[in-house]
Amino acid sequence: MEILSVNGPHRLTGDVTVRGAKNSILKLMAATLLAPGRSVISNVPRILDVSIMTELLRRLGCEIDYDPEAGVIDIDVPEEPGIQADYELVRAMRASICVLGPLTGRMRAAHVAMPGGDAIGSRGLDMHQAGLEAMGASAHLDHGYFIAEAPDGLTGAEIHLPFPSVGATENLLMAATLADGTTIIDNAAKEPEIIDICLMLQAMGAQISGIGTKTLTIEGVDRLHPVKHRVVGDRIVAGSWAFAAAITGGDITVRGIDPQLLPHVFEHLRAAGAEVSVLSGSADTEGLVAGIAAANEHGAQDMGFRVIGPQRPHSIRVATLPFPGFPTDLQPFAVALNAIADGVGLLTENLFEARWRFVHELARLGAEITIDGNHALVTGVDSLSGAEVEASDIRAGAALVIAGLAAEGRTEVSEVDHIDRGYEGFVEQLQSLGADVQRVDKPEPFDIDSLA
């Protein structure tokens, strides 16, 4: 096991470039199961979750050539892929459930182990199940597996989601592309990653309208074909660097991302006293769907933004909401900012009830935080102090490292495999920005049995 050793305080300055979104690439990889043959995906981030999904697809019978340095993955899907995704891999990553839709849609059956992944709260599969059943499948849980079967194929249906779930939208969208007839998904998620998968499915021959709105209409087709596709930039990684600049009083330019993907993040950073400027060449006048399509076709090298942090940020009020609201994945960074801000900040978490686990670790650094239900009241302190902390999920881990860079002394962050799942070259990029961060071997834990 390894830890990240962080010495602070350190001001981060320089340029970083983000690649494709973790929350998109995994679903795009699953979508290739809809079409036999060789699909090529570019702008792929070099993260652990891509390796996990690669192994999952291989076990389903796909042949994969992955070049992590070039950020390109070739996926050759067989005529008859397997239908069972085992617990061994699925437990490591919740996104593995996204093979459910394409396998049910194309192979008329899927046996997917109940997912694991980050400890940020319960995320049931009720909406996935109800949607597939509306399209004619039988769906149930059996010995830890979600079983979906549609021997006669899926049929179009009208589906209303009680909540705009990203995962349910993606699974039902993919399943509907090969269903017989028209499927309407109402109250669908509108995240950029949903737009990205819709654009890829369209390129594969799917008939989808309403992209970027809360109502998706899918006309089922008989067959889809392989495709070449570029992954949309990772707005969560980009937002992480934006907050890193504000928290450390730094100056960071982030490239490879369309600023349109972070609408409410910038306004909160400005409220905290940061200077935010958009780089020329961004697609901010084209509209979100057109901007993502343009970036997919031509790249996003000229897109990006710059954040100059204040000497000490002002406290901010943040409530997480589905897109275009403030992303729940950036909530830990907003908490960390408020921890060292001037004033009292209020955070409201509307999506994942267990995401507050992070604040108990931040409190070890000296943060003053009171939790009341889904609210966190954060009283800013003059300075944090280094301590040993543990990452409970991807974003919490990264936020603890950034908080450590604003703290006095040494902070040690354990369970860093979480960070590796979502951030490409995190330590190396921090070092390029001037951070004193090292990945070191974790000492052997104390053996309590030795006292017996």
Checking DSSP bridges between strand 368-372 and strand 251-255, what pairing results, if any?
unpaired
Distance CA 250, CA 272 (A): 13
Binding site annotation covers 22?
yes
Nearest to 258 by CA among 229, 288, 237: 288
Continuous segment of H or E residues that includes residue 292 = helix 288-298
Structure tokens at 252: 């960071």
HEC sequence for 52-95 = HHHHHHHHCCCEEEEECCCCEEEEEECCCCCCEECHHHHCCCHH
Q: What angle do CA 292, 293, 299 make, to 5 degrees?
A: 75
Binding site annotation covers 351?
yes
Binding site annotation covers 270?
no
What contacts 89, CB < 8 A, 6 or more positions away? 52, 55, 56, 59, 96
- Give the active site residues: 118
Structure tokens at 228: 């070449």
Distance CA 25, CA 260 (A): 19
Binding site annotation covers 451?
no
Using the Cα atoms of residue 418, residue 420, residue 424 and residue 429 in order, give the sign of their dihedral.
Answer: positive
Q: Which residues pair with 337 in a beta bridge?
A: none
What contacts 24, CB < 8 A, 6 or more positions away? 192, 193, 196, 197, 231, 232, 234
